[in-house]
Chains A and B, each alone.
Chain A
Amino acid sequence: MSRPFWKRGWQRGRRNRELDEEIQAHLELAERDALDSGRTRTDARTAARREFGNRNLVEEATRDSWGRRWLSDLVQDLRIGARMLRRSPGFASLAVLCLTLGIGANAAVFSWIEGVLFRPFPLVAHQERLVAVVGTARGLAGFNEVSWPDFQDLEKRATLADAFIAEKITGAALSIGDRAEKGVGSVVSANYFDALGLHMALGRGFESSENVGRNAHPVTVISYQFWQERYHGDPSIIGKTQMLNRVPHIIVGVAPQGFYGTFVGYSWQFWVPVSMQETFDYGGSYKLEDRGARWIEGFVLMKPGVTRQQMQQELSAIAARLETEYPDLNRGCGVRLFPLWETPFNGAGTLGPTLGIALSVVVFVLLIACANVGNLLLVRSSTRRHEMTVRLALGAGRARLFKQVLTEGLILSGLAAAGGLLVAYWSRNLLVRLLPPRGIPYRLAGELDWRVFAVTAGVCLVSTLLFALVPAMQSSKADISGALRSESSGVVGGGRKAWIRSTLVVVQVSLSFLLLVGAGLVLQSLQRLRSASPGFSTDRVVITQLTFSKAGYDAARARTLEDELLARVQALPGVESASFSRSAPFSLLSYSSAAIAVDGYQAPRDQQPSADYLEVSPAYFSTMGIPLVSGRDFSRSDDENAPPVAIVNETMVQQYWRGADPVGQRLQVNGKWMQVVGVARLSKYRNFMETPQPFFYVPLRQNLGMLACLEVRTLQPPQAISALLLREVRALDHDLPVYEAIRMREQVDRSMAAPQVAVTLLSVFGSLALLLAAVGLYAVMSCAVSQGTRELGLRMALGAGASDLLRLVVSQGLALTAGGVLLGAAAAFGLTRLLGYLLYQVSPRDPFAFAASSAIMAVVALTASILPAWRATRIDPVRALQS
């Protein structure tokens, strides 16, 4: 038992020889006894043998009693299997190809799911204990951020957590030499690198003292990639200065190679401690001591063995206590935990459902591939029937034959699994290629770790069972005497087998039909999205980002610069108007959110009405092409010294003023009263799928806030505007970074990443499925024709013409297809609802998608059965009947 298996294998050889010797001795002794009793030598030998029985079976039964027989059997089966497959390379390569596509697609999607959803952060220890944390507000459907004081209180009071990691995503102007460009990074709590268990490539992470003190710790950790690319791996980088948003930061560390930050979708270039929040926050104010300012997203590292539910319970209890302690600021505020793969504030939340759909799609593809290979094996098992019966007659156990066929299947799917892992390896970065470029380094890599290997191995085993079980059962059922006798007539599978194969084809057709319908629906939805109006101009507006850091400019100078730049841009040739805003529709930058109150509106008890808002400059609405349905636009006189004003959207009017024109009424925002001066038409703010939501606008001037976006209304191409803009900005301030300028259309298109990925995946896999189903249908029809040669010949002899036969065969193929389509349509009726979140103004039961898919299926079926049908017409009736 304790011997290693390879030695046991060697021992096995010795034991086999010994068993042979033992039995040989038995026979010799018996023979000698028979001789002694006076028989002749040959007589004695025969008698001894007869007495003994079937030597092979005795040996086999004895070997069985040794236990652990499977290993030697397996080796033998593998050897036989490999030999059989080598003998029919056409069959083997076709089967392996089918399975490679099926298993490879699964392995690729698994590796994406592993790399994007389950273990999204390479190098980070204990990702299974990491959960995402966001704030909630009663009455607010989505999620909210958490304030720093709340976050610290949660951390202090929670007993079930090892660490609370705060993170705020930020963009910054990275200056190197006299060049400035956009960089992405995070403002993080000082425990960030330690809690994630990272070992810095150089220098250190942050120290806990760097959590406190307003702007007191201008230090930064840069990413390994950034260090390599911009500093060429300078070994003495620690202690050097990096300009971030025009503030000199000391580089204290370089993050380890292969760590890209904790934002699914992108790779980060730098991190700064929370004490530097003000420098990186476009919201402007100093928020570390402000419990009302909610800006943090983060992660909780739970203690080992703690479940998310337990953690959630504890945090909710703490949040409830904070609510009573700070009733003014925390009314209705809670926290909510998400598993990493549902993280709402990064790419996981949006990609999760899409990858889920991709997973079900590839499972379908695998099923279709298995049905195909099962069909091929059935055809083969008919031709191999003779081999099987001979082996049965020679004393092979039926179970052995059964195992033999399964082992052959295992060889096929094992080869395919190896190929599939290669496919997964090649396509690990494919997701990024499916996404529109965004000006930030993407990072969505598949991860090929042991778990992906294990799942692939599991898929390989399950698919072997799926495609080889029926053929294996058929083989081991072979009837010795019958088959041996009728060997000469070369009988192939009977009615039952044909029935199984037809069923497999129907299943294939129905699955591919399902995928076709899905692809059709998503494609239609994408087309609708492309032509849909978000409620603002997309073709005539060019947008770019600018960063005036608060720390780099004093407020007055920033204002002057803004005014001057706006005046210069508006004077550019071909520019109709221009405006600034703190964020922009469909942008990655988040909107501000505020607690609101309206005269005469009574919120439900315990609920804090809130709404998102955007800080804009005058002329924002005309530049963006958002109509004002009532009241006026902001003007230059709505500045710091004027009474605060706001413009609300139509949904807000419906919700808080019951549809009455609110111009002249009051709106309270974070405790500050403002006068409503206008009503803006409802538009889309984050994406097309969002439901109409209350939203309002306030003047940039009256609200602390760094401008970030510059909108230019023009017909000029973005490149031209970019060049002009660069010139104007450089004239004002040499160091101010200018980002790429894009048309608003492109910004909107970027939000369609998820549907686009879904469309690509569904179309690719849908065509693959269609191809496989066509091959399956073709195989079944050819087989039916060759099996029905006699019948077809008889029909011809009785006067059936070529066109009759053609019709007969094709209609059989079409009948199978029709069955598959009906089955697939029934399944699609129930399943396409799951695509709901991807569908924009398309019903999951859209008749057009169903009709088009049926048509495609019919054409494919016709094509696949024409060739066999043509072959049927070439049958020579005389020879067919003679055989």
Chain B
Amino acid sequence: MPPRKSPYQDRIQILQGTLDMLILQTLQWAPRHGYALSKAIRTNSGEIIRVDTGSLYPALHRLERKRWIAAEWKSSDQGPRLRVYRLTKVGRRQLLPQRSRWARLTAAIAGILDPANARSAS
């Protein structure tokens, strides 16, 4: 398949690992549907991170396919049926390595941005 050049896909590629971690982390406390998840990420990040729907839903479905999260239809009281995602055991096991990788990554980026600090930290 030829590489797709759609702008949405570019963003997925950049954010993929990070977004996956954010989703897993957010679902750790309670199952949520897509809209609630995006709201939670936004709120928890202090309105800084807005997850694009064009990245969120593909990521959710991809994680579901990997069986890191599982989805279930729940009917709400006065409203549409909601597709609620929860973290699976496999997903929970993935969370830790994801977080440590993120920690390494941020430390590395910090090192690049501020070499002196990084050296003193190590």
Contacts and interface: CB of A to CB of B under 8 A. Distances in A.
A66 B65 contact: yes
B79 A53 contact: no
Interface in B17-46: 33-36, 39
B115 interface: no
Interface stretch (B55-63, B95-103, B106-114): B55-63
Contacts of A62: 57-58, 61
Given A25-B81, A398-B5, A67 B65 contact: yes
Contacts, number: 79
Given A58-B53, A62-B57, A399-B1, A25 B83 contact: yes
Contacts of A54: 54
Interface stretch (A16-24, A668-676, A694-702): A16-24
Q: Which of A22, A64, A402 gathers most chain B CB within 10 Å?
A: A22
Contacts of A601: none
Contacts of A57: 6, 8, 54
Of the four ranges (under 10, 10 to 19, 20 to 34, 35 or more), the interface on chain A belongs to: 20 to 34
Contacts of A23: 53, 57
A61 to B, nearest CB: 5
A398 B4 CA distance: 8
Contacts of B58: 58, 61-62, 64-65
A740 interface: no
A22 to B, nearest CB: 5
Contacts of A19: 57
Given A18-B83, A21-B81, A26 B62 contact: no
A402 B57 contact: no
Q: Is the interface of A mostly helix, strand, loop or mixed?
A: helix
A29 B52 contact: no
B88 interface: no
B53 A52 contact: yes
B74 to A, nearest CB: 10
A23 B56 CA distance: 11
A490 B35 CA distance: 46
Contacts of B12: 61
A804 B36 CA distance: 76
Contacts of A70: 1
A52 B35 CA distance: 10
Contact of A58 (B1, B57, B80): B57
A61 B65 contact: no
A443 to B, nearest CB: 48
Contacts of B2: 399, 402
B67 to A, nearest CB: 12
A399 B35 contact: no
B81 to A, nearest CB: 6
A62 B73 CA distance: 18
A57 B5 CA distance: 13
Given A61-B58, A62-B58, A62-B61, A399 B4 contact: yes
B8 A25 contact: no
A28 interface: yes
A18 B73 CA distance: 10
B62 A21 contact: no
Q: Which of B8, B33, B53 gathers most chain A CB within 10 Å?
A: B53
B34 A22 contact: yes
Interface in A782-829: none
Contact of B54 (A21, A29, A61): A61
A58 B34 contact: no
A398 B62 CA distance: 23
Interface in A4-56: 18-19, 21-26, 28-30, 32-33, 52-54
Contacts of B4: 397, 399
Interface in B76-97: 79-83
Contacts of B82: 25
Contacts of B81: 21, 25
B73 to A, nearest CB: 8
Given A61-B8, A65-B58, A397-B4, A26 B65 contact: no
Contacts of B35: 25-26, 29-30
B112 to A, nearest CB: 31
A70 B62 CA distance: 17
A28 B53 contact: no
B36 to A, nearest CB: 8
A25 B57 contact: no
A117 to B, nearest CB: 38
Contacts of B73: 18
A65 B80 contact: no
A53 B53 contact: yes
B80 A24 contact: yes
Contacts of A21: 80-81, 83
B120 to A, nearest CB: 43
Contact of B9 (A53, A59, A61, A402): A61
Contact of A53 (B33, B36, B52): B52
Contacts of A18: 73, 83
A397 B6 CA distance: 7
A19 B53 CA distance: 13
Q: Which of A23, A28, A64, A398 gathers most chain B CB within 10 Å?
A: A64
A61 B57 contact: yes
Contacts of A29: 33, 35-36, 79-80
A73 to B, nearest CB: 10
A65 B62 contact: yes
Q: Which of B1, B39, B54, B59 gathers most chain A CB within 10 Å?
A: B54
B83 A61 contact: no
Nearest to B37: A26
Interface in A518-545: none
A25 B54 contact: no
Contacts of B65: 65-67
A48 to B, nearest CB: 10
Contacts of B61: 62, 65-66
Contacts of A24: 80
Contacts of B8: 57-58, 61
A52 B56 CA distance: 11
Contacts of A32: 79
B59 to A, nearest CB: 8
Contacts of B39: 33
A70 to B, nearest CB: 8
Contacts of B33: 22, 25-26, 29
Q: Which of A26, A29, A33, A58 gathers most chain B CB within 10 Å?
A: A26
Interface in A730-763: none
B14 to A, nearest CB: 14
Contacts of A67: 65
A25 B80 contact: yes
A23 B4 CA distance: 23
A16 B24 CA distance: 24
Q: Which of B2, B57, B59 gathers most chain A CB within 10 Å?
A: B57
Contacts of B55: 61
B79 A28 contact: yes
A435 B59 CA distance: 67
B21 to A, nearest CB: 17
Contacts of B1: 70, 399
Contacts of A399: 1-2, 4-5
A28 B35 CA distance: 10
Nearest to A24: B80
Contacts of B79: 25, 28-29, 32
B72 to A, nearest CB: 12
Given A21-B83, A62-B58, A65-B59, 7 more contacts: A21-B80, A22-B34, A25-B33, A53-B54, A58-B54, A61-B6, A399-B4
* A-B CB proximity, top 9 nearest: A25-B80, A65-B58, A65-B62, A62-B57, A29-B35, A26-B35, A22-B83, A65-B61, A61-B58
Interface of B: 1-2, 4-6, 8-9, 12, 33-36, 39, 52-55, 57-59, 61-62, 65, 73, 79-83
9 contacts: A25-B81, A26-B35, A29-B36, A29-B80, A33-B39, A58-B58, A66-B65, A70-B1, A399-B5
